Amino acid sequence: MIRSIAVAFTMLLMPSVFAQSQPAPTKADVREALAKFIRAFDDLDWEHFRLAFDDNATVFYPRAMPQRANGRAEFEKAFKTVF
């Protein structure tokens, strides 16, 4: 379950990565970022978890947030209840 949530979050994060003028991330980069994200979520490490998101991210987490959270202020408010 956590992995499917993490994959969904990674898909949300990827457009901001590709929009930058940096080289595309390698598979190893994506795996490392995903592992850090999952570890932060599993450990309830708020700072590392929140920093995995772009300020303009849109988050949908149906278990805790049945509505979309648009932007850092909205998704942090919603996820603080989880943490």
| Domain locations in the chain as residue ranges | 2-82
6-50 pLDDT tens trace: 555 555 555 555 555 778 889 999 999 999 999 999 999 999 999
Give 83's DSSP letter.
Answer: -
Asked if residues 79 and 49 have their Cβ atoms less than 8 Å apart, the reply is: yes
Q: Which pLDDT score, from 0 to 100, does residue 2 have?
A: 64
Question: What value does the mean pLDDT take over residues 77-83?
Answer: 85
Q: What is the DSSP string of 10-78?
A: HHHHHHHHHHSSSPPPPHHHHHHHHHHHHHHHHTT-HHHHHTTS-TT-EEEETTTEEEEEESHHHHHHH
pLDDT exceeds cutoff 70 at 58: yes
Task: Round to whole Å and give the CA distance between 27 and 9.
Answer: 16
pLDDT exceeds cutoff 80 at 56: yes
